Chains A and B, each alone.
Chain A
Amino acid sequence: MLDPFQLPFVQRGLLELLILSIPAGLLGTWIVLRGLAFFSHAVGTAAFPGLVLADGLGFAAPLGAFGAAVAFSAGTAVVARRRPGDQDSLTAMVLVGCLAIGVILASDVFRSGSNVETLLFGSLLLIDGRDIALAAAAAAASLGAAVLFGRRWLAAGFDPTAAKSVGAGAPYLQIALLGLIALATTAALSVIGALLVAALFVVPSATARLWTSRMLSWQISSVVLVAVEGTAGLWLSVKTNAPPGATIATLSGAVFALAAAARAMPRPGRRTCLSAAVAAVAFLVAGCSSVASNDSGKLQVVATTTQIGDFVREVGGNAVAVDQILQPNTDPHEYEPRPSDIEGAAGAKLVFANGDDLDAWIDQVVSESGSEARIVDLGAAVPVKLPGESSGAEASRYDAHWWHDPRNAEAAVEEIRRALIEAEPSNAAEFRRNADAYLGKLRALDRGIAKCMDSVPATQRKLVTDHDAFGYFAKRYGITVVGAVIPSQTTQAQPSAKDVSDLVNLIEREGVTAVFPESSVSPKLAETIAHETGASSDHTLYGDTLGSKDSSGATYLQMEAANADAMVQGFSGGKRSCSIHGIG
């Protein structure tokens, strides 16, 4: 039953959770008692500008988050002193300010994107020593403060009028409480993410309050409940391969609902209903708890992106079991690891990565899994490289979308062949045969696309896409990239009003006939711009990810062929299309 807890990364997550249960449970009671639930939620979100600053100026993210959270708490405390009133509205006012600063910093000053937002999510599966140290510091501080200040916090909250006269009105008490909540929630950011902080800090305490009537018993039950719900949620998430944070949040919500319902129930019925509910939950857990077992005997490899997964399956054939981390139509810029990813990495011999910062998280996934796997950076092996963005979160030397040049795909396939043969020489013949066949198709693809593009006059090959992902394709086939709706190689940046109006002018000036939305990005903005300029937006491209199984872009070959067809149609105003032979 307990096997998930034998995995080292789960053990680390568990340790982190157990440590965090102390500040979460203790502070949770004060959060509930003093009406600070919204504040505790907001303080995590308010860490955003700090994360952007840390990312832009290059210092440690937790430091940035904590700095912003402290500034936020201080801001709220100051505003509260100036304008006494409802804590929630004050918090909201300061929060809006923080978020506005964060957005301006992110989009206009540092042009950062994805990393910053992933920091707001966090994952229990990627816990490192620093996270544990931060949690331990938060636990020690909360425990100390609860012992030292608890009575005074209680007296101040119980009767604010008399707070000063009973020696509980000193400003440092309120500041200590808000500051501790800031410290503890930033420690929890890397675990459960800003949006789910309440699952640890508010809901369990609110639940425990239902059956306790004294501070001490409440605090103890609330710490225990956080630990139990966290442990159960983590276990469940590994069993069901769901993201742990969301699982814990769901579980704690369900327990609260159950406890509240049980309280509302007349006494005699309570027992039966509770046991029925527990049985139902147990049944549900049992039903979910079937983990996909590894195909034994095969060479275990991990591929980060959908394209690389496709390459590896083509070359590996039946001899290789591929664990592909990103699924079709998900944006690689928005990745949150699932338990199976880390388990997969733990058992893998090889990990194939895209490189160039597109999947930088893979290093952490591999190291957290305790795997000995060799990471093969395919981006480093391809011959054609274009410059990347010069600043911001995605700043890297090279544009990461190298697969859009089929010659690069060929080189990647050759690299995959080499690595597979090295890992399992006994299957060398099969790997060679598969790779040769596939390389032939890649060459056919390249020739086919070139021929299609030749049917469109060079002056009409003007490309406007959703984000800046088609540099390699454009370079290879003589297409001019006029602009992108999101003026960045990441999908996470936000265009400003000026960016949009500049692009509209550019499209009109250049006589661009089509704006191409991307399959994994919301088409809204592309459609708006197309509408404004009279260009068409009917032809969708596959940018960062393959399409789903039954789409026209289910494999790499289909994806690129579909892109070529979409572009030819778009450039020629629907007069021409493109079909490529020898790749089926």
Chain B
Amino acid sequence: MNRAAASHEVDGGPLIRATSDRDVLAEAAGLTVGYGGVAAIENVSFRVRRGERIALLGPNGGGKTTLLRSITGEADRISGSLRVSASWATVPQTERSRLDYPVSALDVAVMGSLASLPWWRQPGRRERAAALQALERVGMVKLAGATFGELSAGQRQRVLIARGLVQDAGLLLLDEPFTGLDASSSDRLETLIGALATEERGILIATHDLEQARRWDLVVCLNRRQIAFGPPGEVLNLAVLEATYGGAIVAIPDSGGLGILPPHHHHQS
């Protein structure tokens, strides 16, 4: 990958030079966001371009969801800048969607079509076909008629992804989409994410799975502030992981020597 040198300072700092690149879907510089004026993550700078899969890493409470919410507008921007230049679709962390609604999986997928319809138009045959196609892609077409609230957590996750697909957004925000998926669904979703990336979408994925993150294009490490941003091979070193997850957690024997670098590769500024 010959991307512009991404910065990965451990202590943050003013980072990315603004570009007028048409491929840029979202860009944050020195962004601090929070809730009710209280900062939750500080000094975040990253850039999402077409075709990039970006992992958001961090401990519980580290700010992954908050970062996604800064794009959806649910978290308040306190300082810094954020530019979002594409439509976005979001798949929230499962426990947040409503299980008591009288809707089928297909109904939920069809919701994705509303954004592109003018306010007086109702989803019709074409929108239903698109929704079914999206359900097909996530392997849920057989359960299209099932009540959403009665699906398993992993199945619901997939239906919500189908809704995002129907939305046909440039920027996909997936908040821990792998939680609750079995191995085959998980593989399938990863393949899907890869396919979506080749369709020129930008995908932000909050995850707790380091191995997965290594297979993607970029990572953002968060722990109440940005620890690092860059290609996983460069960024995921011991110091960053220590700063991200806290010292105790950094026993990473399962890494199989895959690019865990000794803590000297970063430049202190």
CA distance A83 to B169 in the complex (A): 30
Are B111 and A155 in contact (CB-based, < 8 A)? yes
**A148-B111 contact given A157-B101, A165-B90, CB 8 Å threshold:** no
Are A151 and B112 in contact (CB-based, < 8 A)? no
**A155-B114 contact given A161-B90, A166-B167, CB 8 Å threshold:** yes
- Nearest to B149 among chain A residues (CB) is A213
* B30-69 to A contact mask, C-beta < 8 Å, 1/0: 0000000000000000000000000000000000000001
CA distance A565 to B189 in the complex (A): 92
* A375-403 to B contact mask, C-beta < 8 Å, 1/0: 00000000000000000000000000000
Which residues of chain B in 92-150 are interfacial with respect to chain A, using CB atoms and an 8 Å cutoff?
Answer: 92, 96-98, 101-104, 107-108, 110-112, 114-117, 119-120, 122-123, 147
Are A158 and B103 in contact (CB-based, < 8 A)? yes
CA distance A162 to B69 in the complex (A): 10
Are A212 and B103 in contact (CB-based, < 8 A)? no
A72 interface residue per 8 A CB criterion = no
A152 interface residue per 8 A CB criterion = yes
Counting chain A CB atoms within 10 Å of each CB, which of B72, B89, B111, B116 scores highest? Answer: B111
- Nearest to A29 among chain B residues (CB) is B102
* A166-190 to B contact mask, C-beta < 8 Å, 1/0: 1110100000000000000000000
Are A164 and B73 in contact (CB-based, < 8 A)? yes
B96: shortest Cβ distance to chain A, in Å? 6
Are A165 and B87 in contact (CB-based, < 8 A)? yes
Are B97 and A159 in contact (CB-based, < 8 A)? yes
Are B169 and A165 in contact (CB-based, < 8 A)? yes
**A166-B103 contact given A158-B98, A161-B72, CB 8 Å threshold:** no
CA distance A162 to B167 in the complex (A): 11
- Nearest to B116 among chain A residues (CB) is A167
Are A214 and B102 in contact (CB-based, < 8 A)? yes
CA distance A158 to B89 in the complex (A): 15
B-side interface residues, number (CB < 8 Å): 34
Q: Please give, as numbers and ranges, the residues of chain B lying within 8 Å of A105 by CB-CB distance.
A: none
Are B101 and A158 in contact (CB-based, < 8 A)? yes
Are A151 and B111 in contact (CB-based, < 8 A)? yes
**A209-B102 contact given A159-B97, A162-B89, A162-B90, CB 8 Å threshold:** yes
CA distance A212 to B163 in the complex (A): 24
Q: Please give, as numbers and ranges, the residues of chain B lying within 8 Å of A214 by CB-CB distance.
A: 102-104, 107
A542 interface residue per 8 A CB criterion = no
CA distance A147 to B123 in the complex (A): 11
A311 interface residue per 8 A CB criterion = no
Q: Please give, as numbers and ranges, the residues of chain A lying within 8 Å of B87 by CB-CB distance.
A: 165
Besides A159-B160, A170-B119, 18 other A-B contacts (C-beta < 8 A): A151-B123, A154-B103, A158-B101, A158-B111, A159-B96, A161-B74, A161-B92, A166-B112, A166-B115, A167-B117, A168-B114, A212-B102, A213-B147, A214-B102, A214-B103, A214-B104, A214-B107, A215-B102
Please give the residue numbers on chain A whose beta carbons come within 8 Å of chain B beta carbons, in ascending order.
33, 147-148, 151-152, 154-155, 157-159, 161-162, 164-168, 170, 209, 212-215, 218
Query: What would 9 A/B residue contacts be, using CB atoms closer than 8 Å?
Result: A154-B101, A157-B98, A161-B92, A162-B72, A162-B89, A164-B72, A165-B88, A166-B114, A214-B104
Please give the residue numbers on chain B whose beta carbons come within 8 Å of chain A beta carbons, in ascending order.
69, 72-74, 87-90, 92, 96-98, 101-104, 107-108, 110-112, 114-117, 119-120, 122-123, 147, 160, 163, 167, 169
